[in-house]
């Protein structure tokens, strides 16, 4: 192997790329063959079912091993809850805030281990979780329920067991989004957020979970595309040597893999640009750069990285150290025993997961101490799921809470828009005027306030009203005190089933919120 060829292999090990669709496409195959990309990320649009996912992972490993001589990291964002990539025939654990609401850190470990075993059986060996962000800003459009809570201690209490569960199941875990995405009001998929906190404030809040994870030996940390002016006045974390090398590596003593969030996100793409950004990230101290979507962009980035290395712009010793980190993790994780495929979505996992899901449901306000009876003519209202953040799966789910609940429990379904205006609200209130009980599902209503106006307008009538927050529990903060309210944390059929059990009196809602919903 000549030096130039060897360099291509090395660049490929330091990159992770993705593609569209459920099968390897020609552009991606050629990317692997020409540029020896050694690691792959999968999203929901790559997955149609567990058998297809297993075959796809086999195809990826065969191709990457043939072309690079090393197995691939195959990564996925299987956080649980609102950010789940696994299909419905696999087990989809609740999200971070939901698991923390159970009050039992053992649930985080169990969820992590169950997830890891199923991922590994499918061929996925790298889970981009847990989220270590402290969700201290309730207007945060991208983290919210993906965080374990609003206090660093809560995040540590649940994130570290999740990490250990993933490790016990044989899968790498990844702490994200360093140094913290919890106090932003901008989605970094769309623009560059700024967190203008002092260094002391960051050490009191954002950095605390990451320091704990570093000490616990988490295998990977993902950087965020966020500007922290008190740490680096010019560069976002992903491109900042003072943040990735001076802070994370040196001051915090982190020895594992540093990887970037996707370099095609607008926070990078619309500022320095994806291609230059990949070079800058490596110079800053990132071991692996992530380009999730476009083969041509990944190719241009590979060329730019190689040219920067050949020109002496990238420190040669650090380059070798990064290659050694990646190689050591592959040696450690990628020869672990693979669980039997039958474990994926097996009955015992599904039952354990639904029991856990039932425990996550959190009563926020329950006038009289119990939820009202549905009666003879219940009405179910709410909007369909929509893409609340760019980290969500690409297509909006076709089913809706009101339709699902009316079919399951009997009654009438009224589907609203995501942010109903006065005229629509008046019409929905009129249509529900004969209801014996009204159940409204909200979905980021604290950001789409027409949903909350709808709930409060319905509460002015004679029928009891139950509001169910199907993503962030902050929706329930500004409702009429006469409204019964329940935090459910995710918009899925499995959580709808758990909510139905509570509404029918078959199960109690026992969760405790880990963020402030009501001030009293």
Token output for 406:
């009316």
CA distance 275 to 299: 9
CB 313 within 8 A of CB 59: no
CA distance 60 to 67: 11
Residues with catalytic roles:
261
Helix/strand/coil for 477: helix
Token output for 260:
């970037």
CB 116 within 8 A of CB 166: yes
Strand order of the β-sheet with 174-178 is 126-127, 73-76, 39-42, 15-17, 288-291, 257-262, 220-223, 174-178
Question: What's the pLDDT at 194?
Answer: 86
CB 392 within 8 A of CB 360: no
What b-and-e string marks burial along 302-320, b requiring 16 or more CB atoms within 10 Å of the CB?
bebbbebbeeeebeeeebe
**Per-residue DSSP letter, 89:** T
Q: What pTM value is reported for the model? A: 0.94
Architecture of domain 3-343: Alpha-Beta Barrel (3.20)
CB 79 within 8 A of CB 158: no
In the block, residue with structure tokens 């030096």: 3
Question: What's the pLDDT at 193?
Answer: 81
Averages of pLDDT over each 10 residues, the chain, 520 residues: 71 97 96 97 96 98 97 97 93 97 98 98 98 86 89 98 98 96 68 86 96 98 94 94 98 98 88 92 98 95 96 96 98 95 98 98 96 98 74 55 97 96 98 97 94 98 97 94 97 96 97 89
Residue range 361-503, CATH number: 3.40.50.1700
Helix/strand/coil for 413: strand
Question: What's the pLDDT at 141?
Answer: 65
Question: What's the pLDDT at 492?
Answer: 94
CB 466 within 8 A of CB 495: no
Question: What's the pLDDT at 11?
Answer: 97
Q: State the pairing for strand pair 465-469/39-42.
A: unpaired
CA distance 273 to 277: 6
Q: Map out the domains of the chain as residue ranges.
A: 3-343, 361-503
């Amino acid at each position: 192997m000549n030096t130039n060829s060897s360099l291509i292999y090395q660049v490929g090990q330091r990159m992770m790329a993705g593609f569209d669709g459920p099968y390897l496409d020609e552009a991606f195959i050629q990317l692997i063959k020409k540029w020896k990309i050694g690691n792959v990320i999968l999203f929901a649009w790559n997955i149609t079912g567990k058998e297809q996912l297993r075959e796809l992972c086999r195809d990826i490993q065969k191709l990457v091993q043939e072309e690079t001589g090393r197995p691939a990291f195959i990564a996925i964002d299987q956080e649980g809850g609102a950010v789940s990539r696994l299909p419905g025939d696999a087990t989809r654990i609740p999200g971070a805030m939901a698991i923390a609401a159970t009050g039992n850190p053992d649930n985080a470990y169990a969820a992590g281990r169950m997830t890891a075993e199923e991922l590994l059986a499918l061929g996925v060996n790298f889970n981009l979780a847990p989220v270590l962000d402290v969700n201290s800003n309730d207007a945060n459009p991208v983290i919210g329920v993906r965080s374990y809570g609003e206090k660093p201690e809560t995040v540590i209490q649940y994130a570290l067991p999740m990490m250990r569960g993933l490790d016990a199941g044989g899968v790498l875990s990844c702490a994200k989004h360093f140094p913290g995405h919890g106090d932003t009001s901008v989605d970094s998929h769309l623009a560059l957020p700024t967190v203008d906190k002092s260094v002391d404030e960051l050490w009191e809040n954002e950095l605390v979970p990451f320091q704990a994870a570093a000490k616990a030996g988490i295998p990977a940390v993902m950087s965020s595309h966020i500007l922290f002016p008190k740490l680096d006045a010019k560069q976002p974390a992903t491109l900042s040597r003072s943040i990735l090398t001076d802070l994370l590596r040196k001051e915090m003593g982190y020895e594992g893999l540093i990887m970037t969030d996707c370099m095609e996100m607008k926070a990078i793409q619309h500022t320095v640009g994806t291609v230059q950004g990949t070079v800058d990230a490596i110079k800053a101290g990132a071991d692996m750069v992530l380009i999730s979507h476009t083969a041509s962009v990944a190719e241009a980035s590979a060329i730019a990285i190689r040219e920067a290395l050949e020109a002496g712009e990238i420190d040669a010793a650090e380059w070798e150290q990064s290659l050694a980190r990646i190689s050591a993790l592959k040696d450690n994780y990628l020869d672990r025993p693979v669980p039997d495929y039958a474990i994926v979505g097996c009955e015992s996992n599904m039952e354990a997961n639904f029991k856990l899901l039932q425990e996550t449901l959190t009563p926020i306000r329950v006038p009289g101490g119990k939820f009202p009876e549905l009666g003879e003519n219940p009405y179910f209202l709410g909007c369909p799921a929509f893409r609340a953040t760019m980290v969500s799966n690409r297509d909006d789910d076709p089913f809706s809470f009101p339709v699902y609940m009316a079919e399951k429990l009997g009654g009438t379904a009224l589907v609203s828009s995501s942010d109903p205006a006065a005229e629509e609200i008046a019409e929905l209130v009129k249509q529900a005027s004969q209801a014996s009980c009204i159940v409204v599902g909200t979905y980021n209503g604290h950001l789409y306030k027409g949903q909350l106006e709808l709930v409060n307008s319905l509460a002015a009538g004679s029928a009891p009203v139950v509001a169910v927050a199907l993503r962030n529990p902050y929706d329930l903060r500004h409702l009429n005190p006469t409204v019964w309210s329940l935090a459910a944390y995710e918009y899925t059929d499995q959580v709808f089933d758990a909510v139905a059990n509570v509404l029918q009196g078959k199960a109690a809602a026992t969760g405790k919120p880990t963020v402030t919903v009501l001030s009293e």
